[in-house]
Structure 1
Amino acid sequence: MRNPRQAEEPFVARVLRQVFIGFPLALAEKIEGVLRQLEKPKKAWWFVLVMGAVSAALVLGGGAFWRFIARIFGFHLWDPSWKIILGLGVFYLAYLAGLMPVFLLVAWFNREAKDSLFKRRHEKRPASDLLVRRHRLRSTRHQVYAGESFYRRKPVYLTNDQRVMHTHVLGSTGTGKTESVLLPILAHDIAHKKGAIVIDGKGDKELLDRILYLVEATGRMNDFHYFSLAHPNESHTYNPLLRGNATELKDKLIGSMAWSEVFYRDMAEQAALTLLKAFLDAGRYVTFRDLYTCLTDEHSLGRLAKEVTDVSIQDDLAVMVRRFKDNKKFLSGLMANLFIASRSEFSALLDVPEPEIDLLRVYEQNEICYFALDLERYQDTSRRLGRMILQDIRAVSSYVKSDMSKLNRHFFPVFVDDAASFLDLNFIDFLNKARAAGFGIMLLHQSLADLEFRGAMNFPKQVIENTNIKIILRQDDPQSIERLAKIGGTSRTMISTYQTEEKLLGKGLTGVGSIREGQTFRIDPDLIRALRLGEAVMLWKSPSFFTDYVQLDFIGYPTFKGVWPVSKKGKSAGTRKPTKKTQSVRPPEESTDILQTPPEGREDDSEYPFERLDNLHKTPAMPEKTEETEGPSA
C-alpha cells in the first residue's frame, strides 16, 4: 500500500521558517562551533578580535554609514518607507539578540546528537604533564603506572600479579617500544628495589646510558651488571654453563644451536651429556674451552676419564675414546659451535669458571643485569647466546620452584627486546611454568609474523595464549592488524541510521532515523594502523577483560654522566662449586633505604622513590588534534 502524499508546505511558510528559525539556528551553530575552539586561544583569538571590531564599528559608526548611503542614493532616512524598513530591521535584530541563548542551547544539543552519530563515543583527550606526574607518583612496589587512558581520563596500572602472567609488546620500528614501555617500567622496578634482567638485541649504547642513569639516580650501582659482545673491555664476565645438572647444561648448550638434521642433534646431545656428567662427577667447572678440547683432543678426553669416579660414566667415556675418529664426522656441528664460543674475541667473557654474573644470585639479591647482544654485528653468535641466557633463566626458575619455599619467592621481571631473535620452540614451556617462580617476562618485537619460524605455524598462537597483557603499538601488516583486532573480541553496540535534508547553510539532520543492535570490534583495526608515537592499545584478560586506548608513559632522554666501567674491585664473583647449593634470601617487603624514607611533611612514603627520577620523566608534547579514528570502548 502506497503512503499518502504529504501536503506541500506553503512558500511563505518556508520563507518565514528559514528567516526566524533556520538562519538564527545556523548562526547559533557557527557561534557554538567557535566557542568550542576557545580552549585553544592561539587559534581563536583572531575571531574574537574581528567580531569585537565589527561590533564596535556597527555601534559607533552605524549612523555615519547610513548617512553615507543616503547621500549617494539621494534619499532621506526618515521617509515613511525607510521608517518601515528600519523598524523591521531593529525588530529582527532584537529578535536575534533576545532568543540567541535559546538557539545556542538548541545548537549545542544538535552538536551532541551529531557527535553520537558521526564520531566515536569518547573523544581523545591527552593528559597534561601534571596529571601524568601525579598518577606516576602513585605507583607502589606492587603496581606500575603504564599510561593514561585517552577515553576514560583515568590512569592505567599494571600490578605484579598481572605482570607475572607475562606481557607481549608489539610495535613496528620507531613506535616507542623501548622509550614508552620498557624504560618507564624498568625505571619503576629499579626505583622500588626490584631486580631485573634485560636482554637487548640491538646492543644500543644509548640504552646503556639511560639504564646507568636510572641505576645511579637510585644509588644501586653495586647491584648493576653489564654484559656486551661489542665492548668486552667494559663487560662483566658470564658463564651460562655455571649452574645446573648435566641434563640442564646439555639443554642449554644444544638448545641454543640450530639443527637441520635430527640425527646430528641426537648425536651431539649424547656426546654433550656424557662430557657434562664427567665434568660434574670430577668436580670440575664446565667451560666451552674444556668441552671443545675434550672433543678434539684424544689425550684430554683420556685425562678426563681418569678423574671420573663413576663406573658408568667411565664406560661411556671409553666408548667415546674408541670412536674418537668418528666424532669429527658426527659431532662436527657441536665442535664448530664450541669453537666459536671458546676462540672468539669475547670468549674471555664466557669461558670463565667463576663469572661475575650469576643469574641465581641476581634473582636472590634483586640485582640488575643488562645483556647487550649486537644482532647486527654478531648475528648468529648473539642469537645463540640469547637462547642460552633464556635457558639459564629457565634453569634458575626450575631451581627456585624445586628448592625454595613459596615464602622465599618474589616477583622478578625479565625484559627481552627483539625477542623473536632469541625464542625457540621450547620457550613456551618456560612461559607456562615461570609464573610459579615469580618471573614476569616481557617480550618486545615488531610483528606476529616474526614468530613464524622453522615451520611452527602455531608458535605465535602459543605466545598469545600464554601472555596475559597485550600492549599493541602501531602495526602495518594487515594480517597482524586483523588478528590483533580479533584477539580483543567484539562488543554489543547500537547502530544508528538517519535522514538528512538541505538547510540554509548545508545538509542537516531531520531527526528521523532508526536504531538497531549490532556487534563491533573492541579494538578498531583502523586505530591500530593510525597509532602515533607513544600511543598504544592495551588489553588483558585477567583479573577481568579490559581494553583501552592509552597514552603511554615516557621516560625522556637521560644520559649517564659518570664513568663506566666502575672498578670491579669488591665485586663478588660466583664462587659456587658444582655440587654446592646457594641459600636463598627473601627480599624485604619494605626497604630501609633513604629512597623509601619520605621527606618531612609527606604522609605517603609509597610515592617518594620516583621523585629522585622525576626530572627525567617528561611527557612528550602531543601533536595537534586532527581527525581521529574510532577506538575501542573502555
Structure 2
Amino acid sequence: MSEHPVEALLRPPVELWSAVAASATGAIAILAPWGLMMPPGLAYAAAAVLFSLALVRARQALRVLRYQRNMRRLPRYQLRAERIPLSRHKLFLGKGFRWTQRHTQRLRDTLRPDVQRYVQPSPLYHWARRKEVAWESTPGLKQAAHLLRHSAWWNPLKPLPSVGGTPALHAVEPDEEDVWMNLGERVGHTLVLGTTRVGKTRLAEILITQDIRRGDVVIVFDPKGDADLLRRIYAEAKRAGRDSEFYLFHLGFPEMSARYNAIGNFSRITEVATRIANQLPSEGNSAAFKEFAWRFVNIVARALVALRRRPDYQHIRRYINDIEPLFIEYAQAYLLREGAPDWASDVEEIAGNISERNLSTALRGRDRKAIALMRYLQAQDLYDPVMDGLLSAFKYDKTYFDKIVSSVGPLMEKLTTGKIAELISPDYLSDNDNRPIFEWLDVIRRGGIVYVGLDALTDTTVASAVGNSMFADLVSVAGHIYKHGVTDPNAEPGVQPQASLPTISMHADEFNELIGDEFVPLLNKAGGAGFQVTAYTQTWSDVEAKIGNRAKAGQVAGNFNTMIMLRVKELATAEMLTDQLSRVEVLTLMSVSGVSDSSDPLSGVDFQSRNEDRISVSEVPMLTPAELVRLPKGQAFALLEGGCLWKVRMPLPDDRGDPAMPDSLASIAAAMERTYITNDHWYRVNDTWWHESADTAVRTSSENADDV
C-alpha cells in the first residue's frame, strides 16, 4: 500500500509485474546460477531475497485486487444463530470498521469517471443479465439462462446479491473486524432507523438473541405481530433453557395468548383514567371532552377499587354507560360501614314516597332505590370523596352525561368486543380458562421473556391503546423498582432479596405506532430502574406525525444516546446522523499541462512545455445523506459511545437444521401450554397482594380527593 499523500487503489495491480519478475529471477538463481554469473551460495541467498520481495509484492497486489473485487461484490457474511458471539460486557452488532477521513477519501475516489471500470460490473456481466431475460422463454436456451442466473461458485457471471445499494460504502475498508458496543451505553437507549425491508428485524434478532442468552429480562413489542420474529425469540429462549419463562401476548391469536389487565396494576389510582384518556384525541374542542372522560373514568375506577374489585376495560365500559348500579352498590357498602343501623328501612321509606311527577328532569326514569339512596346520603352529615364523585355523576341528566363521555365510548367498544376482551379484561376467578395472567413486576421478578404482538394491521386503535397502557404500566413498575426494588412481598421467609436490579431490555419495533405521552418518561426516567430501550422505526417523520408536535419529537430523540441508521429514503431522517458528524479534508490530484513559445528570434529556446501534478485540499462532510440512501440491505452506520461513527454490516441468518426453531406458531402454542401456570395459581399468589393494594388505593383515593 502506498505511503504517499494520494492513495491509489483503483488502478491496475502493477505489483504483480514486479512479483513475477522477482519470482522468475529467483527461480533462475536456483536452477541456473551460472546464468546470473553467481556462485551457488550467493545465488541461493539472492533467490531467498528475491522470493521474499515477490511475496511482499504479491500480497500488495492481492490486496489491491481484493479491494477492487469488493467494490463490485462483498463476500457473503452468514452466521448460524448459535454462533452469534456473546459477551457479558459488550454487545455484538456485526462486522465493520470505524469510519474516518481515509474512508471518506476512498469513497470520493470511486466517483471519478476514470475509475468506473474498477467499481462497476464488467460489460460481460451486463451482457449476461440481458441474455438471462432474453433467453428465459427461448427453446434450447432456457438452460443457459438458468445457468447464468445460478448463484454458484463456478459461475463467473452470477448475479449480484439482491441487497441493492452501493457495495463501495463497505468495501472502502478491506480489513473489517467484529463491532462491539459497550453494554454500559445501552442504558442511554438506542434508536434504529431504516426504511421497509432493509434489515431492522434482523438486527433486532441479533440483539434480542444476546439479551436472552445474557439472562436479561426481555420485553419485545411488535405491532405487526411478525411470526418469524416470534419464532426466533422462542427458539432463543429454548436454546438458553428459558422457555419456561417465555410469555406470549398476541392480539391476533387470542386462543394461544396469555392474558393481561392493561389497567389493573397501578401505583396511584389516577393512572387508570390517565391510561384510557391518553388514547383520546386532544386537539381543539376534543381536549375538553378528554378531560370530562378522564374525570368520569377516574370516578368509576376509585369506586371499583374501594369495593375491592380490580378495574378492567369491561367494568369501565359498563359503568361509563350506566353508573347507576355502581352508585347503588357503593352506597350500600358505604352505609353498611358508616351509616346508622336502621338506614335500610329509612331508604325503603324514602323510595316509597317518591313521586315521578315531582322529580327533576335529570332523575326521571331512574331507579327509585338509587334516588332514595341519594336523598338519604344528602340528608346525613357524612362525607366520602368516592361517594361525592359518584353522586355528582349520578345527578347528571342521562342525555347530557352520554354526550360529555361520548369520546370514550367508541374506544371502549373496540377494547371490549370479541375474544380480545378476554385478553385485556381477564376473569381472575374463572375455572374454565387456563391461560396465564401476567403482570410486569412478576415477570421482572421471574426474569421472564415477553413477546407482545399487537396486530396493528387489523386494528390500529386497539393496538395503540393496549401498547400505550403497557408502556404506562411499565413506567409505574419502574417507579416501584426505584422505591422498593424488585423484592417479592409474598416470598417465603428466609429468601434473600435480590442484591442488584435486573437488566430489563425492551425492544419496540415500529415504535412510531406505539409512542405517546407514556413513552417519554420511560426513556428519560426509567434508566435508573434497569430499563434499556431499543426502538425501531422507518423515518423520524413517522414519530413527529404520531406525536403531532415537533418539539416533543425532538424531546424523544434527545433521549437516545446511540443511533443505528440503515438505508433511509427521507433526507431529513438521514440528516439526523450526518448533521452530527464533523467535516474532513480530502485530497484531489489534478494534472496540469502547458506549453509556451518564444517570439525572440535571438533566443535559443523556441518553446517550453511542462507537466505537473497538483494536490489540492478541500473540506467536505464526513458523510452525506446521499450515502445513507444508497446503503445496501443489512448494512448500517452507527453512532456509538459519544459520537464515534462505525460502518456495520449484519450477518445473514442461517436457520438450516436448527433444532430449536419451531415449525409453526401452533408448535409454540403446544409447547407453552405444557409450561403455562394456570390462573388458579396466579390468583392465589396475588390475592393477598391485591387486597393490600386495594386498601392502599382506597386510602390514596381518600387522601387525594381534591385531584378529582
TM range (shorter): 0.5 to 0.7
Q: Which deviations, in whole Å up to 9, do the C-alpha atoms of 1:346-368 show, x marking residues without a partner?
A: 11111115462211111222101
Q: 1:494 and 1:367, CA in 2 relative to 1: closer, same or farther beyond 3 A? A: same
Paired residue secondary structure (1:470): strand
- Aligned-partner SS, 2:91: strand
Gap change, CA 1:519 and 1:280, over 3 Å in 2:
farther
SS in 1 for 2:264: coil
Matches within 5 A, 1:297-308: 297-306=322-331, 307=333
Deviation sequence 1:416-469 (CA, Å, 0-9, x none): 111101111453232110111111111101011111225312233223211011
How far apart are the structure 2 equivalents of 1:293 and 1:395? 26
8 Å contact kept, 1:163–1:440: yes
Conserved? CA contact 1:285–1:353, under 8 Å: no
Letter in 1 for 2:424: L
CA–CA distance in structure 2, aligned partners of residues 367 and 127 of structure 1: 38
- Please state whether the residue corresponding to 1:271 is helix, strand or coil: helix
Residue matched to 1:459? 552
Aligned residue identity for 2:287: V
**Residue of structure 1 equivalent to 2:417:** 343
1:164 aligned residue: 187
Which deviates more, 320-329 or 229-238? 320-329
**Residues 278 and 304 in structure 1, CA contact (< 8 A), matched pair in contact too:** no
Structure 2 residue aligned with 1:32: 14
Give identity over the alignment, percent: 20
CA 1:499–1:133 in structure 2 vs 1: closer, same or farther (change >3 Å)?
farther
1:531 Cα deviation from its structure 2 partner = 1.1
Contact 1:490 1:520 (C-alpha < 8 Å) held by counterparts: no
Specify the code of the residue in structure 1 equivalent to 2:385: S
Alignment of 1:391-402 (within 5 A): 391-402=472-483
Residue 395 of structure 1 deviates from its aligned partner by 1.5
Matches within 5 A, 1:219-618: 219-244=241-266, 245-260=268-283, 261-306=286-331, 307=333, 311-323=384-396, 325=398, 326-354=400-428, 356-404=437-485, 407-453=499-545, 455-487=548-580, 489-499=581-591, 512-516=613-617, 519-540=619-640, 542=641, 544-557=642-655, 559-561=661-663, 562-565=667-670, 566-567=672-673, 569-571=676-678, 572-573=681-682, 575=686, 577-580=689-692
Structure-2 separation of matches of 1:360 and 1:247: 19
Match of 1:192 in 2: 214
Verify the 8 A CA contact 1:202 1:375 in the aligned structure 2: yes
Q: In 2, Cα distance between the equivalents of 1:272 and 1:478?
A: 43
Are 2:544 and 2:553, in contact at CA under 8 Å, matched by a contact in 1? yes
Q: Distance in 2 between matches of 1:458 and 1:367?
A: 36
Change (3 A) 1:430 1:124: farther
Q: Provide the C-alpha distance between the structure 1 equivalents of 2:470 and 2:279, rounded to a whole number of angstroms.
A: 9
Residue identity in the other structure for 2:407: G
Report the Cα distance in structure 1 between the residues aligned to 2:401 and 2:79, rounded to whole angstroms. 66
- Closer, same or farther in 2 for the Cα pair 1:217/1:241, shift >3 Å? same
> What amino acid is aligned across from residue 239 of structure 1 in structure 2?
N
Residue-by-residue CA offset, 1:279-299 (whole Å, 9 max, x unaligned): 222211111111111122243
1:318, distance to aligned residue in structure 2 (A): 1.0
C-alpha separation between the residues in 2 aligned to 1:462 and 1:124? 41
Q: Partner letter of residue 521 of structure 2?
A: D
Q: Assess if the C-alpha contact under 8 Å between 1:401 and 1:437 holds in 2.
A: yes
**Greater mean deviation of Cα atoms: 257-266 or 196-205:** 257-266
Alpha carbon RMSD of aligned pairs, Å?
3.9
1:206 — aligned with what? Answer: 228
- 1:145 aligns with 92
Q: Which amino acid aligns with 2:629?
A: R
**For the residues of structure 2 that align with 1:538 and 1:256, how far apart are their CA atoms?**
34
**CA distances 1:30-59 after superposition (whole Å, capped 9, x unpaired):** 5627789x9xxxxxxxxx9xxx9xxxxxxx
Q: Give the letter aligned to residue 240 of structure 2.
A: T
3-state SS of 2:525 partner: helix
Partner deviation per Cα, 1:254-287 (whole Å, 9 max, x = no partner): 2233344110011011111222122222211111
Contact 1:415/1:441, CA 8 A, preserved across alignment: yes
2-side partners of 1:510 and 1:255: how far apart?
73
Secondary structure at the counterpart of residue 291 of structure 2: helix
Query: Take 1:477 and 1:144, find their aligned partners in 2: how far apart are those partners?
Result: 28
Query: Please, what TM-score do these two structures have when normalized by structure 1?
Result: 0.67
Alignment partners' CA distance in 2, 1:229 and 1:105: 64
2:176 partner SS: coil
Counterpart residue number, 2:135: none
Asked whether the equivalents of residues 79 and 654 of structure 2 are also in contact (C-alpha less than 8 Å), the reply is: no
Kindly state the Cα deviation for residue 305 of structure 1 after the two structures are TM-superposed: 2.3
Deviations 1:220-249 (A, max 9, x none): 121011111111111111111121121122
For these two proteins, the number of residue pairs brought into alignment is: 478
Structure 1: gaps (5+ residues)? 1-28, 39-47, 53-99, 503-508, 583-634
Comparing 520-529 with 266-275, greater Cα deviation is found at 520-529
Structure 1 residue 144 displacement after superposition: 1.9
Find the aligned partners of 1:456 and 1:493 in 2 and give their Cα distance.
38
Give the residue type in structure 1 aligned to 2:303: A
Take 1:259 and 1:279, find their aligned partners in 2: how far apart are those partners? 27
Q: Answer yes or no: is the 8 Å Cα contact 2:15–2:60 preserved in 1.
A: no
How far is 1:533 from its partner?
1.5
Using the TM superposition, give the Cα deviation of residue 535 of structure 1 relative to its aligned residue in structure 2, in angstroms: 0.5
Secondary structure of the 1:420 match is helix
Contact 2:593 2:612 in 1 (8 A): no
Q: What is the letter of the counterpart of residue 469 of structure 2?
A: M
Matched-pair contact (CA < 8 Å) for 2:575–2:625: yes
Structure 2 vs 1, CA of residues 133 and 319 (structure 1 numbering), >3 Å: closer, same or farther? closer
How far 1:188 sits from its partner (Å)?
A: 0.9
Which residue matches 1:217? 239
CA distance in 1, matches of 2:422, 2:233: 25
CA pair 570-494 structure 1, distance change in 2 beyond 3 A: closer
- Cα distance in 2 for residues equivalent to 1:132 and 1:525: 33
